[in-house]
A and B are shown apart, each in its own frame.
Chain A
Amino acid sequence: MILARFLGPRVIVLVAVLLAAAVLVPAATLALPASSPFHIPAYLVPLIGKYVCYALLALALDLVWGYVGILSLGHGAFFALGGYAMGMYLMRQIGSRGVYGNPILPDFMVFLNWKELPWYWTGFGEFWFAAIMVVLVPGLLAFVFGFFAFRSRVTGVYLSIITQAMTYALLLAFFRNDMGFGGNNGLTDFKDILGFPIQAETTRAGLFAASCVALALGVLVVGAITRSKLGKLMVAVRDAESRTRFIGWRPEYVKLFAFTVSAVMAGIAGALYVPQVGIINPGEFAPVNSIEIVIWAAVGGRGTLLGPVIGALLVNYGKSVFTGLAPEYWLFVLGGLFVLVTLFLPRGIVGTIDHGWSALRERRRAARAEKGESMGEGGVSSQAAE
């Protein structure tokens, strides 16, 4: 298997697990009787689906933070933009089933006494158009924003702060009613997607499967990028940006590529997230949301493929459990997590295990070399690989 050699065993396993989940979870909820020990209650499916979308989002952030060293505090904005694009399609699908029964205008526009659809809503009646926008809008924003930011060599915390300012500005903008995105309440009350009722168990199972497939594809894409020469260049830019410049590379383009690809992935995650939770509102642009993504990646281990996926699943599972038990203490836990991970687990869970593993191998090899044995295949993987 050339593919397997190219991507490494871990990626193959992860992708296989995700694809299996895409098939088995829907089967377990739809086909198995409620009495079966393997039955998954229907209410859990969109919840896990939500986690899978978060995992894709964390993976997207990891591509820029873990591999290129750009700490984006604005990835929630790309996620939300993708979500809004999907939400606009879902709004148009409601048709005359809204409270006001207007066949063209969504309820909130009728409420605001608008007479016709704003120009930027045209086309969202079609799924293919919305799907293109899900990719295009976050990608374009990231491209333009990144072009200016990276060209003027805004780096480090400065970049982090202006990405935060970007999502903050969008937050303020989307809160406005006259922006035409439903203001404070956002977009909700969706009825169906591609003709399937959105609340139906089968639809939800389908959305879950789509999320798993999207995450699997995301893992493959990020895996392929990071394994390529470009991926090595990304890590080089992360570790010694000015050096890459002196050997002729243009780090701004490397960053721009990663940032744009990452934003597109985040947008797709948002688009899959919205039909599963049934609402998108400006709150998704809140700077705090974007920072939470960072902690998912940090807990799992940035600069690894597996880390952000595991981190997103773990932290969000923890959040669900905690907010159920003692909601007022969740912020203490989250805040503590930020502090503890940066102080004691800077490599994250996966990174720490990897590091320990490679250190062990290094020691063994050194011991063997001392004994005068010939070295086997030297397989020191960089921390960034895989």
Chain B
Amino acid sequence: MMTMDQGAAPQTEGGEFVVSPHPYATQLRTERLAREAALGSRRETLLYLNGVNKTFDGFKAINNLSLVLERGEMRAIIGPNGAGKTTMMDIITGKTRPDAGEVYFRGEVDLTKHDEPAIASMGIGRKFQKPTVFESHTVEDNLALSLSGSRSVLTALLHKKSAADAGKIDEILATTRLTDKRKRLASGLSHGQKQWLEIGMLLAQDPELLLVDEPVAGMTDAETEETARLLRDIAQKHSVIVVEHDMHFVRELGVKVTCLHEGSVLSEGSIDHVSRDPRVIEVYLGR
């Protein structure tokens, strides 16, 4: 996917220039080049998983999983129960450490070395399968807590609401159609509204990558359609991974699909390609 030619560059340059650069600059440059050389094929990717393994009490939840997401891409992930979808999300967001394998964000950040808040601050947002919002806060406060910005305790103590924040919250409320619920407690929302609020919280974080776990579970058809539209909107500006069971919904998204089975990739391609793959049919219908 990537060609590597920087490796040879230092020698030619070093030979031609008479004025030697500052030693520290040289050092920085060598380090950068070494880093880029190490990046190799994952340099241009947003998310890069290679040979990831995770075992729980002898159960292989993730088995030699490799997956690459390009910048700006939206990807749907399907798979039967126990295929390792949620564990994969856990690994990406730092909740679970893999036993082996590489997980890189933006080609260079090793996600296995960071914890959840650090990864969230880097720009990976996550929506859970079961909507989790702050029930005793209003919709507005839920969004305010999620807004990107300093995550320091003292700043939070002295924080004053700014006009920019208010504008952004208004915008998200409009996107998620929750404007008239602004002052409601989150506990008073319907299931679908909670899902949307959680997506709204993701947007408030303004992440580069959104991980969305079963966003339409328990939704009505109308809500499902609405959610698909919302996600397509979001995908204009963000990279998204959607985990979903609902094939109809996946088809509606119209993006590249990866099918997981027993912790590794079974099939990958367009929805039509994947749904015609005999192995996928066997996993879903066979046995």
Contact = CB atoms under 8 A, between A and B. Distances in A.
Interface of A: 225, 228-230, 232-233, 235-236, 239-240, 242-250, 253-254, 256-257, 378-380, 382-384
Interface of B: 93, 95, 115-117, 120-121, 125-126, 128, 132-138, 141, 144-146, 148, 151-153, 156-159, 182-185, 201, 205
A311 B90 CA distance: 43
Given A229-B159, A380-B183, A253 B134 contact: no
A275 to B, nearest CB: 32
B93 A246 contact: yes
B119 to A, nearest CB: 9
Given A230-B159, A240-B132, A235 B137 contact: yes
A257 B153 CA distance: 8
Nearest to B211: A246
A318 to B, nearest CB: 30
Contacts of B205: 247-248
A197 B95 CA distance: 60
Contact of A245 (B117, B148, B159, B183): B117
Given A228-B158, A239-B136, A380-B138, A248 B121 contact: yes
Nearest to B142: A236
A248 B117 contact: yes
A254 B153 CA distance: 6
Contacts of B115: 245
Contacts of A253: 152-153
A253 B118 CA distance: 14
Given A245-B117, A254-B153, A228 B159 contact: yes
Contacts of A233: 145, 156
A240 B134 contact: yes
Contacts of A225: 157
Contacts of B144: 229, 232
18 contacts: A225-B157, A228-B158, A229-B144, A229-B145, A229-B159, A232-B144, A232-B145, A235-B134, A236-B134, A239-B134, A240-B133, A243-B132, A245-B116, A246-B116, A247-B125, A248-B117, A253-B153, A382-B137
A250 B145 contact: no
Contacts of B134: 235-236, 239-240, 243
A232 B141 contact: yes
Contacts of A249: 117, 145, 151
Given A246-B93, A246-B116, A247-B125, A230 B153 contact: yes
A33 B209 CA distance: 75
Contacts of A254: 153, 156
B120 A245 contact: yes
Contact of B120 (A246, A257, A380, A382): A246
B183 A378 contact: yes
A245 B184 CA distance: 24
A243 B137 contact: no
A378 B152 CA distance: 30
B136 A382 contact: yes
Given A243-B128, A248-B121, A378-B182, 9 more contacts: A228-B157, A229-B159, A232-B141, A233-B145, A235-B136, A236-B137, A236-B145, A239-B135, A246-B126
Q: What is the predominant secondary structure among interface residues of chain A facing chain B?
A: helix
Given A240-B133, A246-B116, A230 B184 contact: no
B153 A247 contact: no
B146 A247 contact: yes
A83 to B, nearest CB: 28
Contacts of A229: 144-145, 156-157, 159
Contact of B185 (A236, A244, A245, A382): A382
A230 B144 CA distance: 11
B120 A384 contact: no
Given A232-B144, A382-B138, A382-B185, A247 B120 contact: yes
Contacts of A232: 137, 141, 144-145
A377 B159 CA distance: 24
Contacts of B153: 230, 250, 253-254, 256-257
A235 B136 CA distance: 8
Contacts of B184: 378, 380
Contacts of B138: 380, 382
A243 B159 CA distance: 21
Given A240-B133, A382-B138, A384-B136, A248 B156 contact: no
Nearest first, the 7 A-B pairs at minimum CB distance are A378-B183, A248-B120, A230-B156, A229-B159, A245-B116, A230-B157, A248-B121
A280 B93 CA distance: 50
B123 to A, nearest CB: 9
A250 B159 CA distance: 17
A360 to B, nearest CB: 15
B151 A248 contact: yes
Nearest to B180: A375
Nearest to A385: B136
